[in-house]
């Protein structure tokens, strides 16, 4: 039934625009954050409809989940009602307009245009060590981009560390919250591990798995099962840095001993990709947990 599909997609498209407008123009910041989370969920649904389950998973976990939690915790730290709405000036309006035009010219010929890239990816998929094309692109053909992305997450944490006040005392949890958190946390480990492992031949991967694990970490911290976490503890520091360290080490070793920067030797691609993904997952999970419920304490020299 093409009609029902058109109805669904049309509703989804309109809903996206309405939610985006509502997130920008909501009366209170609190309402704006709620709208933003709803927008993230609808966007995830849109990606799924467009046949991009990898992006849908990432958007649902990171765009709606973690970003929502971060926005709420920022709102709480900054004070609910103490805010001033900036009036947009002309130049600031010009920029998104320009970006919109650029994106439109890029997206307009998409239905007719046939990009040679998918065929190229499929042709070399055998050599990549994984059977899912998205993972092959992210961790083999364009591994450099992913290395930079993992670094961006690290830099974000370092930046936030300089700015944010410590997360306050975690209140005594209700028994119900305690029970539910204890039930949820192992589930996040199962789901996160599944997403990570499936990433080699199906949608999933380090970012999605790390985010799900971080949700479990935050839940455990909020119910007081985990002790306060912070940069001052060396295991936490090691976990945060593990992803970038392993990635850079692999890159340097392949450049030094092998054929080139992030050019995996044939045969060991799968092992290397799994190692990088595993470490990146641990790093992303720890970093996101710290971003939401991290303690700020200075290191003693």
State the Cα angle at 70 between 69 and 72, rounded to 5°.
Answer: 65
Contact positions vs another protein (CB under 8 A): 76, 168-169, 171-174, 176-177, 180, 183, 187
Compute the least distance from the CB of residue 220 to another protein, in Å.
15
Compute the least distance from the CB of residue 286 to another protein, in Å.
24
Compute the least distance from the CB of residue 85 to another protein, in Å.
23
Compute the least distance from the CB of residue 168 to another protein, in Å.
8
Question: What is the C-alpha to C-alpha distance for residues 241 and 255, in angstroms, rounded to an integer?
Answer: 21
Question: What is the C-alpha to C-alpha distance for residues 61 and 191, in angstroms, rounded to an integer?
Answer: 12
Length of the chain: 301
Compute the least distance from the CB of residue 144 to another protein, in Å.
36
Angle between helices 234-257 and 269-293 (to 10 degrees): 150
Closest CB to another protein among residues 80, 93: 80
Closest CB to another protein among residues 87, 172: 172
Closest CB to another protein among residues 127, 201: 201
Compute the least distance from the CB of residue 225 to another protein, in Å.
15
Closest CB to another protein among residues 224, 258: 224
Cβ neighbors of 63 (< 8 A, separation 6 or more) are: 40, 43, 44
Q: Which two tokens stand for residue 226?
A: 């985990």
Give rounded-to-5 percent helix, strand, coil for the chain.
Answer: 75, 0, 25
| 268 three-class SS | coil
Question: What is the C-alpha to C-alpha distance for residues 8 and 40, in angstroms, rounded to an integer?
Answer: 17
Question: What is the C-alpha to C-alpha distance for residues 183 and 176, in angstroms, rounded to an integer?
Answer: 11
């Amino acid at each position: 039934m093409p009609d029902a599909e058109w109805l669904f997609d049309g509703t989804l498209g309109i809903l996206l625009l309405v939610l985006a407008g509502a997130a920008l123009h909501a009366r209170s910041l609190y309402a704006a954050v709620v709208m933003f989370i709803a927008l993230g969920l609808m966007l995830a649904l849109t990606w799924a409809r467009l046949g991009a389950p990898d992006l849908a998973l990432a958007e649902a976990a990171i765009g709606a989940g973690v970003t929502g939690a971060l926005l709420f915790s920022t709102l709480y730290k900054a004070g609910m009602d103490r805010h001033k709405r900036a009036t947009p000036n002309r130049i600031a309006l010009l920029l998104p307009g320009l970006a919109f035009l650029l994106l439109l010219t890029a997206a307009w010929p998409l239905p007719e245009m046939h990009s040679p890239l998918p065929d190229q990816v499929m042709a070399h998929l055998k050599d990549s060590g994984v059977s899912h094309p998205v993972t092959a692109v992210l961790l083999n053909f364009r591994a450099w981009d992913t290395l930079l992305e993992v670094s961006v997450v690290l830099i974000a944490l370092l930046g936030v560390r300089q700015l944010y006040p410590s997360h306050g005392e975690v209140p005594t949890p209700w028994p119900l919250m305690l029970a539910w958190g204890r039930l949820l946390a192992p589930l996040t480990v199962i789901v996160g591990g599944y997403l990570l492992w499936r990433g080699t031949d199906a949608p999933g991967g380090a970012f999605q798995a790390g985010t799900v694990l971080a949700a479990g970490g935050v839940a455990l911290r909020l119910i007081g099962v985990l002790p306060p976490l912070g940069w001052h503890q060396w295991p936490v520091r090691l976990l945060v840095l593990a992803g970038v360290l392993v990635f850079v080490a692999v890159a340097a070793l392949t450049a030094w001993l092998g054929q080139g920067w992030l050019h995996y030797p044939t045969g060991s691609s799968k092992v290397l990709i799994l190692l990088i993904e595993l470490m990146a997952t641990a790093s992303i999970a720890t970093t996101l947990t710290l971003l939401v419920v991290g303690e700020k304490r200075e290191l003693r020299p």
